[in-house]
């Protein structure tokens, strides 16, 4: 076709709540990929929650970012609140769709296409119709009557509203997005759904890479979410309804949109074998899945290794955002336990503190109440390369991880690690295949939320020079052999080239059972 020049980019990266506004593993990975593949042009499509949640961009775009859009899912346009009838028929069709979502694992493509066509359309369910129409009200109340087991109608009502409002924003994005040759979502969720929408509407090839497992992380968030009211009266509470209806509704919603993304995406990439299996369990067709592991820029960390002084500094570093999922509190408690045996030890928490200020305050309060002032330090966001040579151990207490780059960075700069048994941490520390395992352990793996075990592992490594050095060598070997970023770039280069070549007509992926 002669319209080649109208493409704004080769790859549109669909990013939910990360790059370029929020620092973290996924964001630095995205930056790495864009910088590592300078011959491709990228469009960055950022999808956030509310505008207030994000400050200015945290990354400077490499020159091959040719297009950038920012959208907010909860920045609902102010429509005049006016009563309206709404399209009864369109709501009936949405009802059918919901029925199918409940019944089946994978949805027929035609149903999905019809649903996306309805959304936001004038003759379907417009955003205003969804918000204000009688048809919408009738449908919501009917659903509540026949399904909701919880007392509060107002909670149900707002759950339904906040759950669906973003879909209308997504249809807007899909409508206005300039042409790109391929789509690449870095999570399922709303970004993945946008990918599925665009794939169905335009036939643009759609690649999905998952670092963490979005649905699982949402489940953790939702289990802790205090904005959902709990109705736990002792009379009606039985064992199986520990989770309220509305919490369950949210989880089912994310599972379902995750499945929609899996049905449309090809290939579906994960960072390690464990997550690949999880994707399959969550509905991803096995033949479309593949693993491309993360890699880091080795020469850069070689320099860091050279700066490292002789001896083992008694300093434990936790590099990551100060948020509940990193379980900073377990790290702090472990420091308390460790100090009894190793009084000269220190714990440094290195990472941005602006995401969850309440949690940051709780952590600092915990430090005070355990009498750890001066021993546990919050250093804020730092250049990791400056910090690494001063540490004696990298510690990761997360309750959920995918493939944490900090572990690779630690290995490459000659630093053993203690990490919880989450994501690919065990593979990273102990090795996955036979050859890999033969390299030895690059540290120790501990159970989640176990400060004692964490302290013991840290003590063992810090107090035994021989084990520490063996772990250092294992880490250095492993990262060089398996986690070189040049390998990752090559894999993605190949993947993009393959995708851009397959002239993906909208044969509309067979739904994928």
Q: Which residues make up the interface to other proteins (CB under 8 A)? A: 81-83, 131-134, 136-137, 141, 144-145, 151-155, 157, 229
Residues in a beta bridge with 16:
47
CB 15, CB 45: distance < 8 Å: yes
- Give the distance from CA 245 to its chain's centroid: 25
CB 297 → other proteins: shortest distance, Å?
53
**Of residues 415, 445, 326, 450, the one with CA closest to residue 378:** 326
* Cβ distance to other proteins smaller for residue 156 or 301: 156
Cα–Cα distance, 298 to 415 (Å, whole number) = 14
* Cβ distance to other proteins smaller for residue 87 or 136: 136
* Cβ distance to other proteins smaller for residue 153 or 381: 153
CB 77 → other proteins: shortest distance, Å?
15
Q: How far apart are the first and last CA of the chain?
A: 34
The number of C-alpha atoms within 13 Å of 417 and in the hemisphere containing its C-beta is: 34
* Cβ distance to other proteins smaller for residue 137 or 489: 137
* Cβ distance to other proteins smaller for residue 126 or 454: 126
The two beta strands, 206-210 and 180-185, are parallel
Cα–Cα distance, 29 to 35 (Å, whole number) = 10
CB 144 → other proteins: shortest distance, Å?
6
Q: What is the DSSP letter of 133?
A: B
Length of the chain, please?
513
Kindly list the distances between the CA atom of residue 318 and the CA atoms of 7, 219, 301, 410, 471, in Å, as whole numbers in the listed order.
43, 24, 18, 11, 18
CB 386 → other proteins: shortest distance, Å?
51
* Cβ distance to other proteins smaller for residue 1 or 154: 154
CB 42 → other proteins: shortest distance, Å?
41
CB 170 → other proteins: shortest distance, Å?
22
CB 125 → other proteins: shortest distance, Å?
14
CB 74, CB 165: distance < 8 Å: yes
Phi and psi, residue 187, nearest 5°? -175, 165
CB 120 → other proteins: shortest distance, Å?
18
CB 125, CB 119: distance < 8 Å: yes
CB 231 → other proteins: shortest distance, Å?
9
The two beta strands, 42-48 and 65-72, are parallel
CB 140 → other proteins: shortest distance, Å?
8
Cα–Cα distance, 52 to 268 (Å, whole number) = 32
Angle, CA 256 vertex, CA 255 and CA 262 arms, to 5°: 90
Give the ranges where 282-424 is alpha helix by DSSP (H): 298-307, 328-341, 357-369, 384-387, 405-412
Burial of 30 (0-12, 13-18, 19+ CB in 10 A): buried
* Cβ distance to other proteins smaller for residue 6 or 83: 83
* Cβ distance to other proteins smaller for residue 90 or 446: 90
Residues in a beta bridge with 84:
133
* Cβ distance to other proteins smaller for residue 131 or 407: 131
**Of residues 84, 56, 32, the one with CA closest to residue 354:** 56
* Cβ distance to other proteins smaller for residue 246 or 509: 246
CB 126 → other proteins: shortest distance, Å?
14
**Of residues 85, 77, 106, the one with CA closest to residue 168:** 77
Cα–Cα distance, 183 to 267 (Å, whole number) = 11
* Cβ distance to other proteins smaller for residue 61 or 157: 157
């Amino acid at each position: 076709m002669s319209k080649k020049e109208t493409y704004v980019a080769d790859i549109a990266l669909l990013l939910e709540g990360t790059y370029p506004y929020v620092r973290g593993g996924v964001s630095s990975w995205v930056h790495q990929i864009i910088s590592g593949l300078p011959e491709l042009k990228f469009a960055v499509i950022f999808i956030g929650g509310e505008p207030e949640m994000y400050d200015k961009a945290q990354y400077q775009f490499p020159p091959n970012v040719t297009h950038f859009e920012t959208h907010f899912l909860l920045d609902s346009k102010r429509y005049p609140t006016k009563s309206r009838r709404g399209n009864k028929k369109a709501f009936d069709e949405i009802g059918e769709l919901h029925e199918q979502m409940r019944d089946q694992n994978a949805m027929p493509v035609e149903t999905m296409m019809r649903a996306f066509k309805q959304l936001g359309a004038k003759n379907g369910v417009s955003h205003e119709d969804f918000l204000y129409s009688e048809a919408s009200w009738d449908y919501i109340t009917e659903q509540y009557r026949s399904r909701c087991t919880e007392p509060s109608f107002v909670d149900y009502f707002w759950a339904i509203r906040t759950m669906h409002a973003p879909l209308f924003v997504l249809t807007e994005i899909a409508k206005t997005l300039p042409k790109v040759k391929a789509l690449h979502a870095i999570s399922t969720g709303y970004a993945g759904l946008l990918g599925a929408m665009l794939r169905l509407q335009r036939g643009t090839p759609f690649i999905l890479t998952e670092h963490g497992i979005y649905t699982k992380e949402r489940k953790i968030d939702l289990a802790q979410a205090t904005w959902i009211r709990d109705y736990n009266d002792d009379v009606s509470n039985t064992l199986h309804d520990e989770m309220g209806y509305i919490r369950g509704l949210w989880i089912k919603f994310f599972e379902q949109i995750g499945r929609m993304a899996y049905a449309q995406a090809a290939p579906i990439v994960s960072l390690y074998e464990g997550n690949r299996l999880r994707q399959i369990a969550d509905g991803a067709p096995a033949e479309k899945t593949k693993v491309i592991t993360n890699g880091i820029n080795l020469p850069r960390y070689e320099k860091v290794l050279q700066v490292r002084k002789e001896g083992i500094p008694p300093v434990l570093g936790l590099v990551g955002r100060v948020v509940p999922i990193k379980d900073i509190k377990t790290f702090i408690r472990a420091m308390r336990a460790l100090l009894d045996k190793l009084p000269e030890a220190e714990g440094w928490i290195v990472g941005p503190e602006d995401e969850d200020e309440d949690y940051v305050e709780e952590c600092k309060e915990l430090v005070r109440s355990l009498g750890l002032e001066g021993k546990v330090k919050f250093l804020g966001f730092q250049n990791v390369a400056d910090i690494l040579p001063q540490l004696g151990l990298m510690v990761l207490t997360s309750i959920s991880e995918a493939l944490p780059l900090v572990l690779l960075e630690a290995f490459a700069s000659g630093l053993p690690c203690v990490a919880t048994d989450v994501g690919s941490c065990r593979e990273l520390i102990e090795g996955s295949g036979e050859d890999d395992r033969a390299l030895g352990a690059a540290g120790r793996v501990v159970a989640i939320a176990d400060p004692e075990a964490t302290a013991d592992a840290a003590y063992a490594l810090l107090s035994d020079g021989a084990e520490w050095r063996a772990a250092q060598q294992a880490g250095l070997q492993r990262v060089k052999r398996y986690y070189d970023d040049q390998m990752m770039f090559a894999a993605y280069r190949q993947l993009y080239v393959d995708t851009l070549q397959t002239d993906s007509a909208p044969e509309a992926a067979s739904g994928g059972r």
